[in-house]
Amino acid sequence: MVDQRFYQHLGPISLATLLGSLDVECGDKRHGKIQIHNAAPADLAGSQDISYLKRSKRPTKLENCKAAICFVHNDNIDHVKNFSCVPVVSKHPRADFAHILSKLYAEKEYGSNDHNKYDKVKIGANVVIGAGAEIGQGTKIGPNSTIGPGVVLGENCTIGANVVIEFSLIGNNCKVHHGAVIGGTGFGIALGAQGGVDIPHVGRVVIGDNVSVGCQTTIDRAMFGDTVIGNGCKFDNLVQIAHNNKIGDNCLFAAQVGIAGSCDIGSGVVMGGKAGVADHIKISDGATLAAHASTMHNIPEGEVWSGVPAMPIRQHMRSVSAIRRLTRKKVKPAKEQG
């Protein structure tokens, strides 16, 4: 379920122990002895796992959920009736699930590490490398950088100064420029009884070959599974790539671009500076999002979109012209009256 280079798997743990301090109701006390192996979202959970159903007014499709146990809100108890999993009634199913995650998985410690074991690798002063990290030949790491335990860097990569890389697999010939952070936790917050609860992220970042990541750029790891960056992508400075994005090959993102979570971005996609993409958006191959544009809609293959909210660029140009005409008309009479 999780990559054990990065995470320690603390399971199996009995359901009773897992639910210990939580304010939940489990229908059948006998279930307390069930050994839970993993925690996973409904579509990924196996038959020894615990999952959750997000509280929702609309019924959620759970057809393929194989989980043994599932947190569910009382309002949604009907949604799990047809499934084999045992419901655990919770006021905050996603927050309780987050709590379970932190009991089942722990981030690996940095441990101690002998830099001399890396053959033909240039490691700058004060670089910290976690235990189990693998670094390909010809790779250079700038001073004061931090490479987490289990991280894999390919061959002939150039890692700048003051960079942080954790929970990531990075291909060959990549460049990660100064101050960039790859593999930080994603921004996933569940509503709990006492406010927001950070959902532990147990995923990874997987980056292809020939990728360049600009200074101060952040690429978050997935909550589950992978944030994926294809071969040949080039990202400028101060770009934000949120958790669970899938980005194809040869994309070019200019500075200060921001991609919210779980987007599906094709190959050859170009984004101008400060462009923004809402979560769960699909941007197809060869599409372009202009500088300072912000899209909440999918962009079809090869199209160029611009504006806030973004629309096809010809439509946006017409909007801009129409507004300009409008102000001309409105201004003239005012001048005549004056």
Active site residues: 243
**Residue 207 and residue 241 in contact, taking contact as beta carbons nearer than 8 Å:** no
Q: How far is residue 14's CA from residue 26's CA, in Å, rounded to a whole number?
A: 13
- Does 250 bind a second copy (CB under 8 A)? Our answer is yes
Nearer to a second copy, 86 or 257 (CB): 257
Q: How far is residue 148's CA from residue 268's CA, in Å, rounded to a whole number?
A: 30
- Positions 210 through 229 that interact with a second copy (CB under 8 A): 210, 212, 214-216, 218, 220
Q: Where are the beta strands (DSSP E) in 86-188?
A: 86-90, 105-107, 122-123, 128-129, 134-135, 140-141, 146-147, 152-153, 158-159, 164-165, 168-170, 175-176, 181-184
Segment contacting a second copy by CB under 8 A, of 8-16, 85-93, 98-106, 139-147: 139-147
Least distance (Å) between residue 60 CB and a second copy: 23
* R_g over Cα of the chain: 24
- Does 319 bind a second copy (CB under 8 A)? Our answer is yes
- Positions 153 through 192 that interact with a second copy (CB under 8 A): 160-164, 166, 175, 177-179, 181, 184-185, 187, 189
The DSSP element (H or E) to which 97 belongs, if any, is helix 93-104
Residues in the chain: 338
- Does 318 bind a second copy (CB under 8 A)? Our answer is yes
Out of 194, 333, 336, 337, name the contact with a second copy by CB under 8 A: 194
- Positions 33 through 72 that interact with a second copy (CB under 8 A): none
Q: How far is residue 296's CA from residue 61's CA, in Å, rounded to a whole number?
A: 24
Out of 169, 238, 271, 281, name the contact with a second copy by CB under 8 A: 238
Segment contacting a second copy by CB under 8 A, of 30-38, 47-55, 131-139, 253-261: 253-261
- The values of phi and psi at residue 55, to 5°, are -60, 130
- Does 256 bind a second copy (CB under 8 A)? Our answer is yes
